Structures are given as C-alpha cells and as structure tokens.
C-alpha cells in the first residue's frame, strides 16, 4: 500500500493503492446542489450552462468547494460530440435531450459536417478550472463511448432499450460501423483537446452498453473503445483512461482485458466481491455504491459503503457511485458518505 499521494485520485488510477481510497461522484456537479440550482435559474437551461465556459467552470468547482472531493469532473454532456458532428442539439424541459436529423441512412450521416469550433467552449471551461483547482484535486474529463452516443444520434433522444440503434446495427451494419467510426474519430480529438487544455485523466461513459448481446458488445463497445484508448495512450501517454460500461455485467472482465483501459468503473448491479475476483489483478476499480443507498442514508448507507470498501481493499480503488447522483439526494447523506469512506478502517 502506498503512502498518501499529493493527488490521491490520479495516483490510484495509475495503480497505487491508497490507505483511504479517493472519492468523487458521477454527476457530482448538478441538481442536488442548491448553488447549482441558483446558477441554473440565473443563466437558463442545461445547454446554456454547459456551453458558457465561466458558468460551466463554476459548476465544476462547486462540489470541490463544498465537499473537498478528490476529483473534479468537467461539467458538460456526452452529446456535445453529436453537436460537433453536425446534429442540432437542444433540451426539452422535463424530457431531456433532442438531436436532429436522426441517423437512419448513409446519406444523412454523410451530409453531416464536423464543426470543431463547437468544442471550443468546453476547452475554455477546462482551462479555467485547471487554474483554480486545489493542488491535491485531480481533474477528470470525459466523453460518451461510441455505442451510447450512436443510440442518441439514431433515435434523436434517449430511447427505451435502445431499440432503434440495435435494429439499425442488425439491418445495416455497414452504416452503423460508419457512424461508430465517425464518433470514435471525433471522440479521440475531443479528449485530446481536453487533455491539452488541462484534464489529467478521462472517462468514457458507455451508459447503454448493457442492452447489447455478447457479439454486439464485442463489435460496438469493446472494439471502438479499444481504438480510442490506443489512440489516447499513443498521443497522450501517462493520462489514465477510465472505462465505464454500465450494465456490462458478466462481460466486464472481457471489457477490462480487451479495451486497454487503465481503470474500470463498476455499476451498482455488480457484486463488488465478484468484480474483485473476476477483474485483472491490480487493475484500478471505480465504484460502485447504489445512488439509492446514498438517498437512504443512515445505517443502510454505512453498511453499503463498508461492503464495497472491504471488497476492493486489496486493489487500487476509487470510491464512486454505480451511476450518477440523483437530484433528490440529501446533502447530509453525501457528507455522511465522505466521512465513512475517509475513516481509516
């Protein structure tokens, strides 16, 4: 076990096991925080916040100021990439994101033109945050993985069971491959841009990977992720890549072995004891508290935290949720979680 690091999260992602695991929470900058709600009321909708560098930087920093998290996660959205690829992006109040035109035929995809300038506000946010973070806090960038991003580009919105994308993958695999390739190319450039601007590690979110069969998982999750990771390792050596294939379940070990990611995020449906036994030895693992256990608080929360800490005690571990923090999460329960994790056992 290593001695305390000046940046414990970054050291853990590089393979050092800490006496007290570092912690950050997916969606830690968001609606459960009153300071976020106040800024959103002042500035307008989500997209307006994400694309205004000053506002997005402020939101990124809010949970660091309030809780002293070990990692700051860039405030943005995985659908910035489709916007950069030429789709119109907007958010319907109470219903979530919308994209147009939907990708249903090759001529639609070929008609889209990449607009790298759409990414500049995000890089501006990164540069601002990088100058303001405490020296012990690691800075995480992110992007959506190609399969998950493709599901939105095909359906034009979040979709039940990602049926539209899965149908297209079976009906026209060449079109799906062309779409996934376009997303992967843009994602590589996007993450390299974030790294150049100041992030120290990146996470690939594959939120809908759990909807795929094993063969499709290999084709649409593992293969493009491996391509992205290889490019990042070649062009930004030393920058850790976290893969988060939500819903992968029993396919997690294959993902960990075959994608080349430096660390793997585990969702709340995975038994941490099984994950520790099944994943490559000494690979850093991130997760995997159920966001609803965080809402429950009290003894339920303590017991869930203790089980995860015990399961991953013998490997590098970044404590996190199994998915994003929910808007109705009490602030006091986040404080309870931090106190529990940071108590040396």
List of domains in the chain: 44-287 (3.20.20.210)
Determine the Cα–Cα distance for residues 335 and 316; give it in Å rounded to an integer. Answer: 23
- Does 171 participate in catalysis according to the annotation? no
- Nearest residue to 94 (alpha-carbon basis) of 148, 45, 42, 164: 45
Q: State residue 160's pLDDT score.
A: 78
State the catalytic residue, choosing from 70, 77, 262, 267: 77
By DSSP bridging, strand 71-73 and strand 138-144 are parallel
State the catalytic residue, choosing from 36, 152, 190, 255: 152
DSSP for 166-204 reads HHHHHH-HHHHHHHHHHHHHHHHHHHHHHHHHT-SEEEE
- Does 31 participate in catalysis according to the annotation? yes
Determine the Cα–Cα distance for residues 329 and 18; give it in Å rounded to an integer. Answer: 27
- Does 77 participate in catalysis according to the annotation? yes
Determine the Cα–Cα distance for residues 341 and 336; give it in Å rounded to an integer. Answer: 9
Which two structure tokens, joined as six digits, stand for 67? Answer: 């809780």
- Does 27 participate in catalysis according to the annotation? yes
| pTM score of the predicted model | 0.96
For residues 39 and 50, is the Cβ–Cβ distance under 8 A?
no
Sign for the CA dihedral angle at 289, 295, 296, 302 comes to positive
- Does 98 participate in catalysis according to the annotation? no
Q: State residue 1's pLDDT score.
A: 56
State the catalytic residue, choosing from 31, 66, 127, 307: 31
Q: State residue 327's pLDDT score.
A: 96
Model pLDDT for residues 55-111, shown as the tens digit of each residue? 999 999 999 999 999 999 999 999 999 999 999 999 887 778 999 999 999 999 999
For residues 256 and 289, is the Cβ–Cβ distance under 8 A?
no
Question: pLDDT tens digits, the chain, 345 residues: what are they?
Answer: 554 568 999 999 999 999 999 999 999 999 999 999 999 988 888 888 999 999 999 999 999 999 999 999 999 999 999 999 999 999 887 778 999 999 999 999 999 999 989 999 999 999 999 999 999 999 999 999 999 999 999 999 988 789 999 999 999 999 999 999 999 999 999 999 999 999 999 999 999 999 899 999 999 999 999 999 999 999 999 999 999 999 999 999 999 999 999 999 999 999 999 999 999 999 999 999 999 999 999 999 999 999 999 999 999 999 999 999 999 999 999 999 999 999 965
């Amino acid at each position: 076990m290593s001695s305390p690091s000046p940046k414990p999260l970054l050291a853990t992602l590089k393979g050092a096991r800490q006496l007290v695991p570092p912690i950050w929470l997916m969606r830690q900058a968001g609606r459960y925080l009153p300071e976020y709600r106040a800024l959103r009321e002042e500035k307008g909708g989500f997209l307006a916040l994400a694309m205004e560098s000053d506002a997005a930087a402020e939101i990124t920093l809010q949970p660091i100021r309030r809780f002293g998290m070990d990692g700051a996660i860039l405030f943005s959205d995985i659908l910035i990439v489709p916007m950069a690829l030429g789709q119109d992006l907007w958010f319907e109040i109470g219903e979530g994101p919308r994209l147009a035109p939907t990708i249903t035929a090759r001529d639609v995809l070929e008609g889209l033109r990449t607009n790298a300038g759409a990414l500049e506000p995000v890089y501006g946010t990164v540069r601002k945050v990088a100058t303001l973070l405490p020296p012990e806090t690691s800075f995480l960038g992110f992007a959506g993985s190609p399969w998950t991003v493709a599901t939105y580009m095909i359906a034009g919105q979040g979709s039940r069971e990602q049926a539209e994308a899965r149908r297209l993958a079976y009906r026209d695999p060449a079109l799906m491959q062309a779409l996934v390739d376009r997303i992967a190319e843009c994602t590589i450039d996007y993450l390299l841009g974030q790294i150049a601007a100041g992030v120290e590690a990146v996470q690939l979110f594959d939120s809908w990977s759990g909807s795929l069969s094993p063969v499709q998982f290999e084709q649409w999750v593992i293969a493009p992720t491996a391509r992205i990771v290889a490019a990042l390792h070649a062009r930004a050596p030393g920058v850790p890549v976290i893969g988060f294939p939500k819903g992968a379940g029993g396919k997690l070990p294959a993902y960990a072995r075959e994608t080349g990611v430096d660390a793997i995020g585990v969702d709340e449906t995975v038994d941490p004891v099984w994950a520790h036994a099944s994943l490559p030895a000494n690979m850093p693992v991130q997760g995997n508290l159920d966001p609803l256990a965080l809402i429950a608080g009290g003894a339920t929360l303590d017991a869930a935290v203790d089980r995860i800490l015990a399961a991953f005690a013998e490997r590098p571990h970044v404590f996190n949720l199994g998915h994003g923090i929910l808007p109705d999460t009490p602030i006091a329960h986040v404080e309870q979680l931090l106190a529990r994790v940071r108590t040396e056992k």
